[in-house]
Chain A
Amino acid sequence: MNRSLTVRALLVIAVVAASLIGLWPTYKASRITDEMREAALTDPKLASKIESWETRAIRRGLDLEGGMYIVLEIDTEGLTQAQASDAMARVTEILRNRVDQFGVSEPEIKPLGNKRIIVQLPGLDDPERARNLIGSTARLEFRMVRPVDDVQMVLDKLDDAFRITAAVETSAPAETPAADAAAEEAVAAADGAAETVDPNETLALDDLPGQPGASEDPQLGDPERPFSGYLYADAAFSQMWGTPLAVDAAYVAKVQQMLDAPEMRVMPRGMEFQLGMDDVNVGGGTVVRPLYLLDSKAGLTGERLTGARAAPDQDRPGSFVVTFNLDRRGAREFSQLTAENVGRNMAIALDGKVNSAPRINGKIPGGAGEIQGGFSSVEANDLALLLRAGALPVDVSIEEERTVGPSLGRDSIKQGLKAGLYGLIVVVVFVLIYYQATGAVAVLALAVNLIILMAVLAQFGLVLTLPGIAGIILTIGMAVDANVLINERIREELDRGKTARAAVDSGYGNATRTIVDANVTTLIAAAILWWFGTGPIQGFAVTLTIGIFSSMFTALVLTRVIMEAATRNRAQAKLSI
């Protein structure tokens, strides 16, 4: 019996010692000052110490550290299962590449199910930039702009198609609510158009070179021209940006919607429309977005890209362009492509939007080019990064995004610590008053419990989140339960006239089963929380689970060692309970 007591006592001491050692880096990491960081810049020894403390300290979740959590979904439409899982793997790899180059510390990129990817970027608080970085497909394409003859033909076809649809919808009024709404919308849009656009500024379609008088009365919202009515056309535009067509900035969304509409299937094979990337101010208060009719097949894609970097724009001081180089095969193809199409315009498109469409004046050897767009230095660098990391094989969409700013994270830690401290004080005072000396044992158990809990977090690299802190605080309150159960049992046994020694023995014996049973149910709940929850909530499940095990250990092993030792030699010893 005594021997077993010694063994158990040693076990407890070993666990506590191991826990304290495990917590040491966390303690040191919390004491790193700004001066130390500064000193570390010149002192590699100190720098490596700091790094080692930080890597072995308790990891903080995004909600405490600040950062972004993103769930991406890849577009698996039309892919076989094998293709989809291949796409997942490649997207993950490319994203990792992008994020690494972006310079985020300890990013996490992992698959979620078979078509989603979780991206976690600690310390990042510019959601817009990150979204661009993660959500862009970065597909660079070179496509020929179709000649003007094709433009007029396509516009006529589309007008016919949309006119027929409109006629069908009006001839069957309010058949279905959806049809009704669609019709209403079309009418409203047409009305709005007629009101807001000054006819003087409307650039007539019949200015279209080579198609004189193609249309008598060009007007926005003209029922005869349901599609082209939204467009401006001007030969001068071709000189400026390589396409005669443009959309008033106010109707970009409407036109985009029409470009996605089923009527688009009347488009001739091998052609498609793409909008420009940016709005252009054409003077007179009119802002337009160019619209291009392009070959649907790209002459060349960004796959052949070897490098991309930001460079100052020679024409516009203060803004930047992205220059790129093609590999040898790309350069050869590019040279051939340009030689064959001298005099035409070639669109440089990124993710289905045309960046620019310069006129090919002659064969371009060498395989270098640039993307313009009045970028800021940051934008140009990000775009260069995206191009270097390569295009995603499939489109992705951001389905969920959560960002916590660094200041909120700091506040949360402060508030969590404060609540924890006050909670601890209240519980300790209560237990000491209620159970006196035995209460002191319970308090000791609580302290050891917390040390073990934190050490396990640090040692196993588990993540501490704000709900996780709440879980620790809750553990403070619930951990006392095991001690209460035992102490109440011992009190009962004492009331029945047992000696202190016997009361302690049977008290622990009877309480153990109850404690285990009662804790298993909380474990069930915690397991489900882990399975169902994301980041912060999983952090809660983690601390709750560790808290249950560590409180069982401290209550059933640690306090028992102390109580047995206290009552060992004195059969008649009194228990202050």
Chain B
Amino acid sequence: MRLLKNTNFKFIEKSRVAFILSGLLILGGLISEAVHGGPELSIDFTGGTILQVQVTPAPSTPAVREALEAGGFQDFQVQDFGSDSEFLITFREVEGGDEGLDTAERMLAALSSGLPGTQVEMRREESVGPKIGDELKTAAVNSVVAALLLIVLYITVRFIFRYGIAAIVALVHDVIITLGIFSILNKEISLTIIAAFLTIIGYSLNDTIVVFDRIRENMRLRRKESYEGVVNRSINETLSRTIVTSLTTLFVALTLFIWGGPVIHDFAFALVMGVVIGTYSSIFVASPVLVWWHKRQVTDAKRAQPSL
């Protein structure tokens, strides 16, 4: 069986459409970020406590909220988590709060006394002090930046700088759009989501490199063809592989998303987004940027020696 044989889509010609689409996605994300006042950070970065409990028989979410309020808590969030009987309670520590990290225990006590006749089971509890939260924030940003720099370096060594720039544009594009989607869907950025971002960076590049590798090969074989033509041909030649690989990766990311359980739900979601956007960007962003950069260099070179 063969899905795409000897295709000849005009990817580069149509890249204007892709630029508009990407622009809209990025703009939408940025607007959402502006409305929300920046990305929604989890307690990993802000400091605070999350508590996952299973309560049987299942109470309503407002009942859980009331029990906590009766226990003296304010400014917390209660979400259904996975099933009706499970709840995720998020409580952000007031800055410089001197409470220590025993908030979760006090919450559990409040739930037990506020929901009589039920069994409250602690499933998971995470507390992060504000100091560590700040450090993790810095570490997260540093790690993403370090990943981007190292990858540009690697591509520059293996190819040439122009390819590195094109790849980085595609990667930044992927991360910004995924961030935007997280913001629009009101999903929190946690440590695991940063891990997913780094994976996306690694994965998205995988596709990009396969295309670049083919471009480099075709440049040697087809010296007479225009640069744009070679790029377009290379995308088409690797298209079948790109689609097949993206599909198998998308399949597993989807199974994780559907069956992997609530704890890694958002992580799996980020991976699904990353596979889709990463595949799109390696065809519609990285390669056109390469062509555009090449054209600019050529015109610069011409301008430099007009009389010849």
Residues of chain A touching chain B, judged by Cβ–Cβ distance below 8 Å, are 63, 71, 73, 125, 127-128, 131, 397-405, 407-408, 411-412, 415-416, 418-420, 422-423, 426-427, 430-431, 433-436, 466-467, 470, 473-474, 476-478, 480-481, 484-485, 488, 491-492, 510, 513-514, 517-526, 528-529, 531-534, 536-537, 540, 544
Instruction: Give complex CA distance A416, B258 in Å.
Output: 11
Binding stretch for chain A, among B67-75, B247-255, B287-295: B247-255
Nearest-neighbour CB distance to chain A for B300, whole angstroms, equals 29
Q: How far is the CA of A366 from the CA of B52 in the complex (A)?
A: 51
Answer whether residue B268 sits at the interface, using C-beta atoms and an 8 A cutoff: yes
Question: Shortest CB–CB separation between residue B237 and chain A, in angstroms?
Answer: 7
Given A401-B127, A415-B260, A473:B255 Cβ within 8 A: yes
Alpha-carbon distance between A20 and B63 when the two chains are bound, in angstroms: 52
A427 touches B123 (CB 8 A): no
A427 and B248 contact, Cβ closer than 8 Å, known pairs A127-B125, A405-B122, A470-B267 = yes
Q: Are the CB atoms of B128 and A400 closer together than 8 Å?
A: yes
Q: Quick check: B244 and A426 within 8 Å, CB to CB? A: no
In the complex, are the beta carbons of A474 and B147 less than 8 A apart? no
Task: Check B122 against A474 for contact (C-beta < 8 Å).
Answer: no
Judging by beta carbons under 8 Å apart, are A526 and B261 in contact? Answer: no
Which of B147, B192, B248, B263 has a CB less than 8 Å from the CB of A477?
B248
Contact partner, B131, options A399, A408, A411, Cβ 8 Å: A399
Q: Which chain A residue has the least Cβ–Cβ distance from B197?
A: A525
Q: Is B85's beta carbon under 8 Å from chain A?
A: no
Neighbour of A524 across the interface among B2, B154, B244, CB < 8 A? B154
In the complex, are the beta carbons of A481 and B245 less than 8 A apart?
yes
The reply to whether B132 and A399 form a contact with Cβ atoms under 8 Å apart is yes
Give chain A residues whose Cβ lies under 8 Å from the Cβ of B192: 467, 536-537
Closest A residue, CB atoms, query B144: A528
Counting contact residues on chain B (CB < 8 A from A), the size range is 35 or more
Contacts of B123 in A (CB 8 A): 404-405, 407-408
CA distance A407 to B53 in the complex (A): 11
Tell me which of A411, A478, A532, A537 contacts B245 (CB under 8 A). Answer: A478
On chain A, the residues within 8 Å of B256 by CB distance are: 419, 423, 470, 473-474
Q: How many Å lie between the Cα of A128 and that of B249 in the bound state?
A: 42
The chain B residue sitting closest to A526, CB to CB, is B202
Query: Beyond A127-B105, A400-B128, A470-B271: 20 further Cβ-contacts under 8 Å?
Result: A400-B132, A401-B101, A402-B125, A405-B121, A407-B54, A416-B261, A427-B248, A470-B256, A473-B252, A473-B256, A481-B206, A488-B244, A517-B209, A518-B205, A521-B155, A521-B205, A522-B203, A525-B199, A525-B202, A528-B198
Whole-angstrom CA separation of A430 from B213 in the bound complex = 26
Query: Could you jot down 6 A-B contacts, CB within 8 Å?
Result: A418-B259, A474-B249, A474-B256, A518-B213, A521-B205, A521-B209
Contacts of B209 in A (CB 8 A): 514, 517-518, 521
Residues of A within 8 A of B140 (CB): 532
User: Is B191 an interface residue when CB atoms closer than 8 A count as contact?
Assistant: yes
Known: A399-B132, A431-B248, A477-B250. A522 touches B255 (CB 8 A): no
Q: What sequence of 0s and 1s flags, for each residue 197-226 of chain B, a beta carbon within 8 Å of any chain A beta carbon?
A: 011011101100110011001000000000
Whole-angstrom distance between the Cβ of A501 and the nearest chain B Cβ? 22
A-contacting residues, B89-146, CB 8 Å: 100-102, 104-105, 121-129, 131-132, 139-140, 142-143, 146
For window 154-212 of B, CB contacts with A under 8 Å fall at 154-155, 158, 191-192, 194-195, 198-199, 201-203, 205-206, 209-210
**A537 touching B213, Cβ below 8 Å:** no
What is the distance, in angstroms, from A162's C-beta to the closest C-beta of chain B?
20
Could you tell me if B248 and A480 are in contact, using CB atoms closer than 8 angstroms?
yes
Is B124 a contact of A525 with CB atoms below 8 Å? Answer: no
Take A422-B255, A422-B259 as given contacts and tell me if A485 and B210 are in contact as well, using a CB distance cutoff of 8 Å.
Answer: yes
Contact partners of A403 in chain B: CB under 8 A: 104, 122, 124-126
